[in-house]
């Protein structure tokens, strides 16, 4: 704990004043955030962000002044930090522990900046012109985020808010001009799935987007999207910096695949898992009522098998799960098909869940890229179903196979209550981050705390399921499936120099003395 407190120093005004403690940023802080005042002279002004506890009860009326002592209950100090890695010690022989090339696990504290409203802001709300865009594929909760961004902007006193239609295309398509957004207009959009603004893939020239932002005098730009949209947001930020535009860019990560690094989870994921689990249970019901029933469900996950893994555990009725991160063989004694045969012979039923990106090495991909630059995958679900039917036919075992692809039903759903709340918090914090003057940032939950994070760090690479992780082990424990005779695609942990602490030796049995008495 000494190390923890040594990160803080006391200011000159004494220990009794909480404002007197300041965070000393670690050297080379990887989570440092660009700020609009880094390059422009932008004086901070006292925030007018108030909740209604101060007595303002009429929508649209001016916010009342609150007692300065109340401020601590509303604002988050800019020095607040959230610890990114919270396991205090991890033995290198433990599952899922990352360690250095010498096999040593080192505690390197990494801090992310805590999100929330600041007492000092860098934009006069009356001069704010905000724009919001949603890009990429659909995800439950998009409307909730749009709605809360609008609500929060209005709470600050902003009344110039534009909704860009159909993703980045809306900057150039004259048939779809921006929509003026207000609390009144978006009040009920959380009751519906999809995006009120529309989405698209593909991108007009960056210069055209930045030209429009400049022409429309936008100074806060909110991008709700996944890895691609965030890459776009960063590119736009860089162009705006070059033009010395007084504009902040704030992302809100939308990826149903939950494939963004560092974040605990992205919005819509829980809803997707819940709905995906329903599809699996339907496949189980069909298969269990059929003679030699085989249920096959394909779920989303271009590169990451998170939805598939979590929905499999949630359902509990899955015999085989196949995800992009783990290779497998179909044929042969230890292959998937032989295992399915055993299941059918033994139980008369087999339920298989596959992620969209699984087994791409086994089939001829369609090849090429979509409008956004994402690889176009071969349809593994259909290919797999065909192979299963073919195999059982050659074995002369009659089966009744049902194939379910619930992708678009899941994506179009209204989100569940947990995601409604999650989206509200993300939307509100996006606006707080923008008013605080941060730019090229995104909002996410890290170890249960909401944080402002630099976009380039979170989109460096997509997060994938680690086959060596505790969660994947839980998943295959739940299905009971064997290793289908294939090497893991994600490299195994390197063996450290023999004898060093951290070598991958099996855990020694705990000595009796180390087991706390009274707990056995």
Ligand X SMILES: O=P(O)(O)OC[C@H]1O[C@](O)(COP(=O)(O)O)[C@@H](O)[C@@H]1O
Ligand Y SMILES: Nc1ncnc2c1ncn2[C@@H]1O[C@H](COP(=O)(O)OP(=O)(O)O)[C@@H](O)[C@H]1O
Nearest approach, Cβ of residue 17 and ligand X (Å):
46
3-state helix, strand, coil in the chain (%, to 5): 35, 15, 50
Q: Which residues bind ligand Y (CB under 6 A)?
A: 135-137, 167-168, 201-203, 225-229, 231-232, 235, 255, 372-374
Give whichever of 233 and 476 is closer to ligand Y, judged by the CB atom.
233
- d(C-alpha 27, C-alpha 505), whole Å: 35
> For ligand X, which is the closer residue by CB, 131 or 231?
231
The distance of closest approach from Cβ of residue 229 to ligand X in the complex, given in angstroms and rounded to an integer, is 8
Residue number of the CB closest to Mg ion reads: 228
Closest to 247 measured CA to CA, from 340, 397, 127: 127
Distance CA 205, CA 202 (A): 10
Give start and end residues of each alpha helix (H) in 67-205. 71-74, 142-156, 183-186
The one segment of 104-112, 224-232, 360-368, 412-420 that binds Mg ion by CB under 5 A: 224-232
> Least distance to ligand Y from the beta carbon of 374, Å?
5
Residues 39-58 that bind Mg ion (CB under 5 A): none
Residue 418 near residue 227, CB atoms below 8 Å: no
Summarize as ranges the residues that interact with ligand X (CB under 6 A). 136-137, 226, 228, 255-257, 300-302, 356, 370
Out of 193, 228, 253, 324, the only residue in the binding site for Mg ion (CB under 5 A) is 228
Minimum gap (Å) between residue 374 Cβ and Mg ion = 5
The yes or no reply on residue 226 touching Mg ion (CB under 5 A) is yes
Residue bearing tokens 């033009």: 243
Q: Which is nearer to Mg ion, 266 or 277 (CB)?
A: 266
The token pair at 31 is 């989570």
Give the E-state strand segments of 208-292 in sequence order. 220-225, 248-253
Could you tell me which stretch among 226-234, 267-275, 362-370, 442-450 binds Mg ion (CB under 5 A)?
226-234
The partner in contact with residue 256, picked from Mg ion, ligand Y, ligand X, none with C-beta cut-offs of 5 to 8 angstroms by kind, is: ligand X
Q: Which of 78, 144, 257, 259 is catalytic?
A: 257
**Minimum distance from CB of 138 to ligand X (Å)?**
7
71 binds, among Mg ion, ligand X, ligand Y, none (CB under 5 to 8 A by kind): none
Q: In 3-state terms, what secondary structure has residue 240?
A: helix
Which does residue 165 bind out of Mg ion, ligand X, ligand Y, none, counting CB within 5 to 8 angstroms by kind?
Answer: none
Candidate ranges 150-158, 178-186, 188-196, 221-229; the one touching Mg ion (CB under 5 A)? 221-229
Minimum CB distance to ligand X smaller for 149 or for 300: 300
Answer yes or no: 257 catalytic: yes
Q: How far is CA 269 from CA 264, 266, 492, in A?
A: 11, 6, 28
The closest of 262, 354, 226, 376 to 301, measured between CA atoms, is 354
Query: Between the CA atoms of 205, 202, 149 and 265, what dihedral angle is there, to the nearest 10 degrees?
Result: -130
Nearer Cβ to ligand X (41/369): 369
Burial class (CB in 10 A: 0-12, 13-18, 19+), 318: buried
For residues 30 and 110, the answer to whether their CB atoms sit within 8 Å is yes
We find the least distance from the C-beta atom of residue 184 to ligand X, in angstroms, to be: 30
Q: Catalytic amino acids?
A: 257
């Amino acid at each position: 704990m000494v190390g923890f407190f040594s990160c803080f120093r006391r200011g000159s005004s004494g220990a009794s004043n909480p404002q007197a403690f300041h965070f000393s940023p670690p050297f080379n802080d990887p989570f440092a955030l660009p700020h609009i005042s880094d390059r422009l002279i932008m004086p901070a002004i006292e925030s007018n962000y108030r909740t209604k506890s101060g007595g303002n009860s009429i929508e649209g009326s001016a916010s009342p002044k609150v007692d300065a002592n109340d401020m601590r209950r509303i604002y988050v100090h800019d020095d607040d930090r959230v610890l990114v890695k919270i396991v205090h010690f991890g033995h290198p022989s433990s599952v899922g522990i990352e360690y250095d090339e010498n096999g040593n696990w080192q505690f390197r504290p990494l801090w992310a900046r805590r999100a929330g409203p600041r007492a000092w802001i860098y934009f006069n709300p009356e001069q704010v012109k905000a724009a919001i865009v949603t890009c990429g594929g659909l995800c439950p909760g998009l409307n909730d985020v749009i709605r809360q961004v609008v609500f929060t902007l209005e709470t600050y006193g902003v009344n110039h808010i534009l909704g860009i239609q159909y993703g980045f295309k809306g900057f150039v398509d004259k048939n779809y001009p921006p929509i003026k957004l207000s609390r009144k207009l978006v009040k009920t959009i959380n009751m519906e799935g999809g995006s009120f603004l529309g989405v698209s893939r593909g991108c007009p020239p960056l210069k055209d987007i930045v030209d429009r932002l400049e022409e429309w005098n936008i100074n806060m730009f909110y991008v709700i999207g996944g890895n691609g949209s965030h890459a776009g947001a960063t590119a736009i930020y860089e162009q705006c910096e070059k033009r010395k535009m007084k504009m902040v860019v704030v992302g809100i990560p939308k990826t149903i695949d939950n494939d963004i690094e560092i974040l605990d989870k992205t919005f819509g994921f829980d809803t997707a898992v819940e709905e995906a689990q329903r599809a699996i249970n339907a496949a189980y019901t069909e298969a269990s009522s059929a003679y030699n029933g085989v249920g096959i469900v394909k779920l989303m996950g271009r590169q990451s098998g998170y939805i598939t893994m979590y929905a499999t555990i949630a359902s509990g009725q899955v015999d085989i799960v196949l995800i992009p991160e783990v290779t497998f063989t179909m044929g042969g004694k230890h292959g998937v098909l032989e295992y399915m045969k055993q299941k059918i012979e033994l139980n008369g039923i087999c339920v298989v869940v596959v992620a969209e990106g699984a087994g791409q090495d086994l089939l001829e991909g369609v090849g090429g890229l979509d409008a956004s630059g994402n690889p176009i995958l071969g349809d593994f679900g259909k290919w797999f179903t065909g192979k299963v039917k073919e195999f059982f036919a050659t074995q002369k075992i009659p089966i009744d196979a049902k194939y379910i692809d619930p992708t678009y039903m899941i994506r179009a759903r209204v989100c569940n209550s947990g995601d409604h709340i999650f989206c509200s918090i993300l939307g509100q914090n996006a606006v707080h981050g923008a008013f605080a003057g941060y730019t090229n940032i995104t909002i996410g939950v890290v170890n249960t705390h909401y944080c402002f994070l630099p976009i380039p760090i979170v989109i460096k690479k997509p997060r994938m399921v680690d086959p060596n992780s505790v969660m994947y082990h839980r998943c295959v424990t739940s299905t009971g499936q064997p290793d289908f005779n294939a090497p893991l695609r994600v490299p195994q942990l390197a063996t450290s120099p023999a004898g060093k602490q951290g070598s991958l030796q099996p855990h020694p049995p705990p000595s009796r003395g180390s087991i706390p008495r009274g707990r056995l």
